[in-house]
Structure 1
Amino acid sequence: MPKNLKFIEPTRLYTAFFILVAILLIIFFHHPLLLWAVLGIAFIIGFYESYKLCNKITPSPLFLSFALIIWLSVYLLESPLGVFCILVLLGAYQSYTKKGAIEQMLPFIYPTIPFIFLYLLYLDNSINALIWLIVIVGLTDSFAYFGGKLLGGKLFSNPAFCPTSPNKTKEGVLVGVGIATLIGSLIGLGVCGFFASLILTFITSITSVFGDLYESYLKRKAGVKDSGSILPGHGGILDRLDGYFFAVIILYTLLQIINL
């Protein structure tokens, strides 16, 4: 066994166990208000982290208030309408006063819109769709890591998957996407037919890889290792959920299309 697979930081294991228990409790006691509240806490923390990554300063109470208003509107309207209204207001203010920067608006898109889609995925497609997403992204991420450690550099002369994240290998991505597609397709049968489940799982798995890469890009641009430190051994909320942010938008959209 490779040396880098022999030791996993205990703190990382404890945090992972806590996250797993929290997810299982949410799935078992699932209710729109409960999920909205839990996602809301994660969203506010993620918004804070994203603002710091993009602007290198903490968000003002005004911007945090905007984030709270958006999340409240998600519960009341069950749509992303609130975030678009805030973006229009911010854009109008910046264009009129010539104050502010485009970076101030990015947190209202990332991670705001993906968080909204996480909630809508549950509302419009049941808890089964959310479980399906968790399985797809979790397997893709985990097996891409272990596959890369075990096989990285053995199948391709240039194993780096892309320049922005040299530690992510082509071999790892192949293993992660392959296993996620095989297992995820079976989980997806609780939501749609087998062929649709197979295709949607494959596309969602690949998309989750690019969600991970995008957050890595933001961190490299900001010159930081982690988006935050609220999850010991794992970093911040964005570090844990980055793979879900692109994946949920694609999965939700494709499900809406096949359900037309």
Structure 2
Amino acid sequence: MGFFSIVSENRARFLTGAVLIAVVVSIGLIDNFFLIWLFLGIVFLFSFYEAMRLFGIEKNNQMYAYAMLVWLLALVYPNPDDLFFLIAVIFASLLAYTQDFDKRLFLPFLYPTASFLFLLALYKDFGVDSLFWLLVVVALTDIFAFFSGKLFGKRPFCPTSPKKTVEGVVGGVLIATFVGFFAGSLLVDWPQALLISLGTSIASVFGDLFESYLKRQANVKDSGDLLPGHGGMLDRVDGYLFGGIMMVLLLRGLL
């Protein structure tokens, strides 16, 4: 199967992806904290809804109210990622006090809530250029893993995602790391740019894999049907949810 045949057969996927990237880049160029908080918040609430379904949690309006409260706190709290630990303390306290608290209710606050708090922290701590760097690494990992797998893939990567191949993953990670190195070199020294790009790319692969695992557990093909060619919001942002955390941790640890 040739390159153009792959593009033609997946036209909706690439068109939707291109539109989403254009929207993200436009918001990034404006570089306004409130706008980025608002955009991430909208994506977060859609993702939270889909995660509730994947975890088998029935419709619970209180959960959505708590999610919105957390995101409102992230608007004014100086270290958004710290809010996850506050959530964990509250849930652990409720569990200890009641002894019969439904532990599943914590899961959507672990995934994807914690990741979105880290994405906001990435912007607050390292600026909009770090978000562009993340976009480059994760998008290229996904795009070239797809093409490399279609063109050269032979060996399955793991049972969780049967269509993903070793050749696809390696191709995606190598190209994303190479291009990400140049994007990151505008912000940090080249050794850090290389390590952070590599770590973020690998993490994004497992972000995609984790969401595949959740879908298999829930026995669904996609997390939703919001985005043509992609499925749900989580299907589109899964790589960023792991990649964003990894980039924040590596930037803090290596700088």
TM range (shorter): over 0.9
1:175 aligns with 2:171: yes
Per-residue deviation at 1:10? Answer: 4.2
Asked whether the 8 Å contact 2:115–2:244 carries over to 1, the reply is: yes
Task: Give a deviation string over 1:113-153, Cα, whole Å, max 9, x none.
Answer: 11011111111111111111110011111101110111011
1:233 aligns with 2:234: no
Task: Give a deviation string over 1:176-226, Cα, whole Å, max 9, x none.
Answer: 111111111000012101111111111111111111100000000000111
Per-residue deviation at 1:6? Answer: 5.5
Instruction: Write the distance in 2 (CA, Å) between the matches of 1:77 and 1:97.
Output: 29
**What is the one-letter code of the residue matched to 2:249?**
T
Change (3 A) 1:133 1:7: same
Q: What's 1:78 paired with? A: 78
Change (3 A) 1:6 1:137: closer
Q: What's 1:65 paired with? A: 65
Instruction: Write the distance in 2 (CA, Å) between the matches of 1:44 and 1:202.
Output: 29
Per-residue deviation at 1:24? Answer: 1.8
Instruction: Write the distance in 1 (CA, Å) between the matches of 2:164 and 2:11.
Output: 23
Q: What's 1:126 paired with? A: 127
Instruction: Write the distance in 1 (CA, Å) between the matches of 2:224 and 2:117.
Output: 21
What SS does the aligned partner of 2:8 have? coil
Instruction: Write the distance in 1 (CA, Å) between the matches of 2:9 and 2:123.
Output: 33
What SS does the aligned partner of 1:105 have? helix
Asked whether the 8 Å contact 1:56–1:222 carries over to 2, the reply is: no
Matches within 5 A, 1:110-125: 110-125=111-126
Q: What's 1:197 paired with? A: 193
Q: Using structure 2 for the length normalisation, give the TM-score.
A: 0.93
Asked whether the 8 Å contact 2:28–2:128 carries over to 1, the reply is: yes
**What is the one-letter code of the residue matched to 1:242?**
D
1:91 aligns with 2:87: no
Asked whether the 8 Å contact 2:145–2:169 carries over to 1, the reply is: yes
What SS does the aligned partner of 1:209 have? helix
Instruction: Write the distance in 1 (CA, Å) between the matches of 2:99 and 2:246.
Output: 35
2:252 to 233, 244, 256: 256
Q: What's 2:47 paired with? A: 46
* Structure 2 unmatched ranges of 5 or more: none
Identical residues among aligned pairs (%) = 42
Per-residue deviation at 1:78? Answer: 2.7
**What is the one-letter code of the residue matched to 1:255?**
L
RMSD: 1.7
Change (3 A) 1:147 1:14: closer
Q: How many residues align?
A: 253
Q: What's 1:156 paired with? A: none
Q: What's 1:149 paired with? A: 150
1:220 to 216, 221, 230: 216
2:183 to 181, 184, 187: 187
**What is the one-letter code of the residue matched to 2:143?**
S
What SS does the aligned partner of 1:168 have? coil
Task: Give a deviation string over 1:79-121, Cα, whole Å, max 9, x none.
Answer: 2343333333333334433444322111101111110111111
* Structure 1 unmatched ranges of 5 or more: 154-158
Change (3 A) 1:6 1:48: closer
Asked whether the 8 Å contact 1:137–1:243 carries over to 2, the reply is: yes
Q: Using structure 1 for the length normalisation, give the TM-score.
A: 0.91
